Structure 1
């Protein structure tokens, strides 16, 4: 990760500290009155998308903490990241792994759901017009 994704790194760190999945955080933002979607949270964390200031404020409210762009969240080299991981207790490491795997599984599930929806829509589009009219008459 690079310094350029300071917000994404902060977001992921704070979300995991609170033991929230991306989906849980998105729901919490919605409950507070903001607009939240777990796929957007994932894009922010990966640095693929940048949130608006208003979105950052909703995220801060949901996480009950403030983002400070001057914080050095990202380690400059891998050995520093490794040492930060080594400082975690076994329980914290297991929790982190569990949360990462849950996020991965949710992403896979979402992708499979989207593929199924696309296949269903394609099947509907491929249905001859005459069959559609018969369906509508029944």
Structure 2
């Protein structure tokens, strides 16, 4: 059965010029800007792997050690382990990095580093956290990924 239009010959009007969208209008990307406080809020409740406390409660992370550059799409977080020989520094850094990679738009390049002078193996930890292949390999380890997920879980 064919449906017959109610109005076979409707009046047709010209479109308003200010309503016409160009290809450029569709291509424009809406950019949601982030600030240091928003990024800090994403990481402050990460659980410490050794203690039943958050990184905020242990002052491992601090809003003053978060840098966001929306123009360059970069986020840089410095964290301070509780002791200079903390064996969990890399795991803490990985937890911060994973949380930010999961929560921030993919346009951001995330860098996580130990605060200068706060850890005996600062250079080695920073090198591990900056190496994309090592981070990817670490996240393929189910045991390590389970620990990271427990750290970043808010439940």
- Fold match, TM over 0.5? no
Instruction: Indicate the structure whose relative CO is greater, using CA pairs within 8 Å and at least 6 residues apart.
Output: 1
Q: Looking at secondary structure, tell me which structure has more helix per residue.
A: 1
TM-score when normalising by structure 2? 0.29
Q: Looking at secondary structure, tell me which structure has more strand per residue.
A: 2
